Amino acid sequence: MEMAREAAGPEPSSKRVRLAAASELRDDVALPARVDGVDLVVIGHGGGALVYQGHCPHQGTLLAEGAIEHGVLTCRGHGWRFDCGSGSVVERPEVCLKRFAAVIEDGAVMADRDEILAWQRLQALPDPAPPSTAPGPGLRSLSELPGPKGLPWLGSALQLQWQQQRMHLVFEQWCEEFGPLFCVRMANRPALVIADGALIDKILRDRPATYRRIGALEAVALEMGALGVFSAEGEVWRRQRRPVAQALDAHRLRAFFPMLASVTRRLERHWHKAAAQRRRVDVQHDLMRYTVDVTTALAFGYDINTLEREGEVIQQHLEQILPMVNRRVNAPFPYWHYVRLPADRSFDRALAAIHQIIGEFIAAARERLARAPELAAHPANFLEAMLVAQQMGQAPLDDEELFSNIFTILVAGEDTTANTVAWMMYFMCCHPEVQRRMREEVGTVLGQADVLQDMRDAARLVYVEAVAYESLRLKPVAPLFFLEPNEDVEVGGVRVPRGTLLVLVNRPNALQERNFPAAREFRPERWLQGATPAAQHHSGFVPFGSGPRLCPGRNLALLEAKAAISMVCQNFDIRRAPESGPVGEAFGFTMMPTDLWVMFSAR
């Protein structure tokens, strides 16, 4: 289990620096390394080692998290493919990664520290018109920006507290009124609101060095005992990122796919019953249970089967987590330290139940490995892999961090994927012609099968994927990001002090005609290769984040979405339930549909 390592060995004045053990080199594995804060990727090639810059030039994704097949390294961000031998982009040879001289000495891959740092200094030089750099003279202050007036002393804090479930809509309305860069006061704290795609891209690329998640999120996660890869910062995040990303890479997902197919078939049975009874279905509720079943199987190797169980299930506890995290992160002060409201007491009970469940899973996995040591050779899930690495003295995560990341995988894997699939089904109901085209593609790929049988076939569902991206463009499950700078910076000509709250509003940029023609219309065809410039345009479109902290569960989320939606297309016709009201949007850290009732008709 590899983690990004800070280069060890000679003093900073020495030229040679050790990056990796030669014994770790493989032609199909990308190894992470760091030299004085510079991320690198080390690749075994032709019996030697190649060392390249560690970030994808597209949006800064960590290349060491990519997959290597047939001598090509594919970035897990937006699929840029690099020839391992030359470092050039396969489809655009004029774009090339920076390669650093490397040799193998005394069983180690060595590189020239001075060369690496000289290149890094060149990258740090400002552009002619930089969107975000260190502050200089002639810049505007936050107080000079437009923005809502708010109330005396309180600013807009009370309005946002009253409308927490509509918070994203409030910010989007302000964007229409004040533009893509404005200031909101929340009590005595100013916040810079950003809806400009280029600025959002730059800020996300510069994480975690220049920007971080807001400190309130880290504090809340610590109180919950859940400081995992989503909420951690700095070196704590770096230590946790690699094993979590590996647990969700393509190799692990291939081994896990039969379980995903089994859970998807269970969802099919569940909806066949609803179709037979002509009963309307709250699909978002069912999809939350579906994703919990998938995620617990991936994390623990345990089939929890919330879809078919009655009574109290883990999903009922998990669904309370993100809304309360959102409430506490955005609270003007930590009121729960002084008084527990009914919602806080319910949250406490849910949190205690989840802690107990995860603790029992960890204890059971340890006992299972102790009884059958041969299982250590082929760990079957994320938990077993981490425990085996601990036993071998290779684990980058201690027990507390292991617990926190299992908690994170469960919570994050539930809401985001369920909401994505629910919004896809909403648009399928609204656009029967899209549903017909999806059904035709799925029928060609699946043949006579009722569900997706082979993970490799998921790549053939290109129109289904286009529907997923178009749904995420119009209904982003993460419409707001809350960050803060680690140092004084300039953002769009504005001087921003260290620690200032930054609110990144993601949907307005995706609704700009200059980025997406007919931007307010649902047109999945825009995402098909060669159809329009939008097929390659991703500026400011960040449904899974971007840069080094791109969501590590992106591939799993898209695979789950394709599995669930292809099952729906193969087995059912769907439509909005009669007499159901308009579908709304509710924000609770993620954005979910409300009142999405669907009727299923078996095909």
Question: What's the CATH number for 5-123?
Answer: 2.102.10.10
In the chain, list all ranges with CATH 1.10.630.10: 234-602
Q: Tokens 């060392």, residue?
A: 51
Please report, to the nearest 10 degrees, the dihedral formed by the alpha carbons of residues 86, 91, 97, 102 taken in order.
-20
Task: Please report the beta strands in 152-263, taking only residues with DSSP state E, as ranges in sequence order.
Answer: 181-186, 189-194, 211-213
- 160-187 b/e with 16+ CB inside 10 Å = b? beeebbbbbbbbbebbeebebbbbbbbe
Instruction: Enumerate the β-bridge partners of residue 281.
Output: 598
CATH architecture of structural domain 234-602: Orthogonal Bundle (1.10)
Residues 6+ apart with CB under 8 A from 105: 16
Q: What is the pLDDT at residue 248? A: 80
Q: Are 30 and 66 in contact (CB under 8 A)?
A: yes
The half-sphere exposure of 497 on its side-chain side, counting CA atoms within 13 A, is 8
Q: What is the pLDDT at residue 99? A: 97
Q: What is the mean pLDDT of each run of 10 residues along the chain (603 residues)?
A: 44 73 91 92 92 93 91 89 95 94 93 94 66 64 94 84 92 97 91 96 92 93 90 86 80 87 97 97 95 90 85 79 89 91 95 92 91 85 82 73 87 87 98 98 97 95 97 96 96 96 96 92 90 58 87 90 98 94 92 96 95
Q: What is the SS3 assignment for 602?
A: strand
| Cα–Cα distance for residue pair 493/260, rounded to 1 Å | 48
Report residue 214 CA to chain centroid gap. 17
Q: Are 570 and 271 in contact (CB under 8 A)?
A: no
In the chain, list all ranges with CATH 2.102.10.10: 5-123
Q: Tokens 């809509």, residue?
A: 169
- CA 280-286-291 angle, to 5 degrees, is 160
pTM score, whole prediction: 0.88
Q: What is the pLDDT at residue 312? A: 60
Helix (H) or strand (E) holding 470: helix 462-474
- CA 86-87-91 angle, to 5 degrees, is 100
